[in-house]
A and B are shown apart, each in its own frame.
Chain A
Amino acid sequence: MKMNPIVREVSNLVIPPILLFALYVQFHGDFGPGGGFQAGVIFAAAIILHTLVYGLESTQKLFNPMVMRFFVSLGLLIYIGVGVVCMFKGGLFLDYNVLTESHGAHNVHGQELGILLVELGVGITVAAVMITIFYSLCSRRVRGKAE
């Protein structure tokens, strides 16, 4: 799909900042508004913009649907995995206090590590899910046209 050059150039200009902003929202969620959900959605929005401008095939060379399908489950597995690791380390499910060695009554470092990993899992799953759903909707149209 060859788009209007203005649309193409503007997209080239904004897609990298959108991806960067997604990462900022992801890892700055502890300090400001944001977190895994929003970051995942913003990341997916950049990919969807790329799909709209360059077409499904060229985007799928970068973000393969099968890999996305893998990431859909990977995020949830990271989340549950953190919980299970907490159980193996002697705490309760998703009790981040036991993740690192405790230095006081409340283990802030363990909590930070837990939250970072959990939010990462959320972000990966949300981004992959949104991209996957968009791929599914788009590919139907392509198939319909081919027939």
Chain B
Amino acid sequence: MIVFIDIVLLTLLVATAISLVRLRNLIATIMLAGIFSLLSACLFMTMDAVDVAFTEAAVGAGLTTVLMLGALVLIGREEKVPGKGSALPLVVVLITGFVLIYGTMDMPYFGSPDAPIHQHLVDRYVEKSGGPDGEVGPPNVVTSVLASYRGYDTMGEVAVIFTAAVSVMLLLGVGFATKREDAS
């Protein structure tokens, strides 16, 4: 059953990706990107990665779409039709894709018990993190890893988001819709 769901979801993902590349209408592109995120979230669900799926659905499918639509109002609805470019971009993309696929050859299969991460890390997180005598406490291992074991990483992520907001404020302004603007 899971295999069937996976096949359906992956087929839909590929179909969405192909139509994303072919479309020139940017509103449709943004909507399809949202659908792509939602399908990815479903795929994460079938992999039992609930937290990741939650984030993907909320951020990727929900908020990013709204922010992109907000940006779209500023830049116009149609993508520029590109002139006849050289074949160089295609070659670069093909080589990069080949290298990426070649890189996944060495990776362990999904859920494989021989994967390096399952040799020492995951066992410890699953067995020792939770419970009143555990190292961290919360029953949700993901929260333990995110906020305690890997607290530095999460701090870095928050700093990245902070930087994003500062950049947007520097480029576009703080975002007042005040009467001062109307008066001037």
Does B associate with A?
Answer: yes
A interface residues, Cβ below 8 angstroms from B: 29-35, 37-38, 41-42, 44-45, 48, 55-57, 60, 65-66, 69, 72-73, 75-76, 79-80, 83, 93-94, 96, 104-106, 108, 111-112, 114-115, 118-119, 121-122, 125-126, 128-130, 132-144, 146
Q: Which of A104, A108, A118, A133 has a CB less than 8 Å from the CB of B165?
A: A133
Contact between B71 and A76, CB atoms less than 8 A apart: no
Contact between A140 and B173, CB atoms less than 8 A apart: yes
Contact between B139 and A45, CB atoms less than 8 A apart: no
Residues of chain A within 8 A (CB-CB) of B62 are 41, 45
Q: How far is the CA of A143 from the CA of B153 in the complex (A)?
A: 38
Q: Give B124-164 as 1s and 0s: 1 = Cβ < 8 Å from A's Cβ atoms.
A: 00000000111111111011101110011011011101101
- 5 A-B pairs with C-beta separation under 8 A: A76-B159, A114-B147, A121-B158, A137-B74, A138-B177
Q: Contacts A37-B59, A137-B168 given; 19 further ones with Cβ under 8 A?
A: A35-B147, A38-B58, A38-B59, A45-B66, A48-B63, A56-B177, A60-B176, A60-B177, A72-B162, A114-B148, A115-B137, A115-B148, A133-B67, A135-B177, A136-B168, A137-B175, A140-B74, A141-B74, A142-B177
- Which residues of B from 40 to 69 have beta carbons under 8 Å from A? 50-51, 53-55, 58-59, 62-63, 66-67
Q: Which of A34, A56, A125, A142 has a CB less than 8 Å from the CB of B51?
A: A34
Q: Does B169 have its Cβ within 8 Å of any Cβ on chain A?
A: yes
Cβ distance B30 to chain A, nearest Cβ, rounded Å: 13
Residues of chain A within 8 A (CB-CB) of B144 are 115
Q: How far is the CA of A104 from the CA of B144 in the complex (A)?
A: 18
Residues of chain B within 8 A (CB-CB) of A60 are 176-177
- Of A38, A94, A112, A133, the most chain B CB neighbours within 10 A belong to A133
Residues of chain B within 8 A (CB-CB) of A73 are 162
Cβ distance B162 to chain A, nearest Cβ, rounded Å: 5
Q: How far is the CA of A144 from the CA of B177 in the complex (A)?
A: 11
- Count residues on chain B whose CB falls below 8 Å from chain A CBs: 54
Q: Does B106 have its Cβ within 8 Å of any Cβ on chain A?
A: no
Closest chain A residue, CB of each to CB of B56: A38
Contact between B140 and A32, CB atoms less than 8 A apart: yes
Q: How far is the CA of A45 from the CA of B60 in the complex (A)?
A: 12
Given A45-B58, A108-B137, A138-B175, CB of A35 within 8 Å of CB of B148: no
Cβ distance B76 to chain A, nearest Cβ, rounded Å: 12
The 5 closest A-B CB pairs, nearest first, are: A135-B175, A137-B70, A30-B138, A56-B177, A108-B137
Given A139-B176, A146-B181, CB of A125 within 8 Å of CB of B158: yes
Residues of chain B within 8 A (CB-CB) of A134 are 66-67, 70, 175
Q: Which of B58, B66, B164 has a CB less than 8 Å from the CB of A42?
A: B58
